[in-house]
Amino acid sequence: MQVLAVLFGSLVLYRAVGAAGVSLFSSWVVSARFALVTMFLFTAVSHFAPMRKDLIAMVPPSLPRPDLLVFATGVLELAGAAGLLFDTTRFWAACGLILLMAAMLPANVSAAHREIEIRGRRVTPIWLRVPMQALFMVWAWYVR
């Protein structure tokens, strides 16, 4: 749920900054793009922070080297977020983030089935996680 708060909270913040006269954030699309960048920066940092251990536990047991997978997904989230900022890379960054979200969905579903906890709380239940992933994917396509 924190991820949704970061996404929508930053969207409102960027639009408010735009309304205050900062021309960069004068459109919804640009504000939505920066909100998605902010969200992916927020999530990517957790791949390298103390929460990393919880994310490693989320990786399905059948996959090799969960530590490397968590590291790689964090790097890909950072790269995707950075790519969204530039006209020349925006389309491919959005496509990459959409693929990444699709690839990570089975791990999120597995974690929910196994009742994994992150920072002492159960992971987002499937009934909410699937629509969230879909939202992130549609949002990435929208801001491309």
Taking the C-alpha atoms of residue 1 and residue 21, their distance in angstroms, rounded to an integer, is: 31
User: Rounded to whole angstroms, how far apart are CA atoms 27 and 61?
Assistant: 44
- The CA angle 110-101-77, to the nearest 5 degrees, is 115
Please give the average per-residue pLDDT across 126-134, as a whole number.
94
Q: Is the pLDDT of residue 9 over 90?
A: yes
Q: How confident is the model at residue 1 (pLDDT cuts 50, 70, 90)?
A: confident
Range of lowest pLDDT (82-86, 88-92, 103-107): 103-107
Q: What is the mean pLDDT of the chain?
A: 95
Mean pLDDT of 56-77: 95
| C-alpha to C-alpha distance for 98 and 56, rounded to whole angstroms | 21
C-alpha to C-alpha distance for 128 and 144, rounded to whole angstroms: 25
Residue 52, C-beta contacts closer than 8 angstroms, at least 6 positions apart: 46, 70
Burial class (CB in 10 A: 0-12, 13-18, 19+), 28: middle
> Which band of pLDDT confidence, cut at 50, 70 and 90, is reported for residue 119?
confident
Assessment of whether the complete model's pTM goes beyond 0.85: yes
pLDDT band at 118, cuts 50/70/90? confident
pLDDT tens string 17-34: 999 999 999 999 999 999
Task: Please state the domain extents for the chain.
Answer: 43-143
pLDDT at 35 (0 to 100): 98
Report whether pLDDT(60) > 80: yes
CA distance 82 to 112: 29
